[in-house]
Structure formats: structure tokens, C-alpha cells
Amino acid sequence: MLKATWFVLAGMAIVFATLSLLVLVMTALNRWLRPKPEARAQATRAGDV
């Protein structure tokens, strides 16, 4: 069962590592590519961005 324990730990580690990197990328995209003010105003009127 020891190898099963390591499998569980390694699997969850890969999941969290991958998704943590994805959060960083999403945060960076949101920061660098945020909607321009005029686009935001248009989007607010259109109900979408």
C-alpha cells in the first residue's frame, strides 16, 4: 500500500501544481489584457465583455 500512498500524493501534487500554474497564467492574462475602458462601457451596455 506504500506505493499506492505515493501514487495518491504524487497525483494530487501534479493536479495542484498544474492548476496553480494555470491560476498564475489566468491572473496574468486578466491583468495584461484587461478590457479597455471604452470596450468595458460598450460591454456594459451590451451585457458582455
Partner 1 sequence: MFEGELLGVFALTWQAAVMLGLGGLLIYLGIAKQVEPVLLVPIGMGVILANVPLGGLTEAGGLLAVLRKAGIDTQLFPLLIFIGVGAMIDFGSLLERPYTVFLGAAAQFGIFGTFFLAYFLGDGGLRLFDFSFKDAISIGIIGSADGPTSIYVATMLGSKYTPAIVVAAYSYMALVPIIQPPIMRALTTEAERRLVMPTRAQKVSRRTRVLFPIVTILVVGLIAPKATPLIGTLMFGNLLRESRVLERLSQAAQNEMANIVTILLGLTVGGMMVARDFLRLETIMIYVMGVVAFALGTATGLILGKGMYLASGKRINPLIGAAGISAFPMCARVVQRVGLEANPQNHLLMHAAGANTAGQIASVVAGGAALVLAPFFA
Q: Kindly list the residues in this chain that would bind partner 1 in the complex (CB under 8 A).
A: 1, 3-8, 10-12, 14-23, 25-27, 29-30, 33-36, 39-40, 43, 49
Q: How far is the CB of 26 from partner 1 (least distance, A)?
A: 4
Residue written as cell 492548476?
A: 19
Residue written as cell 496574468?
A: 28
Percent of the chain that is helix, strand, coil (3-state, to 5): 85, 0, 15
Q: How far is the CB of 23 from partner 1 (least distance, A)?
A: 5
Q: How far is the CB of 33 from partner 1 (least distance, A)?
A: 5
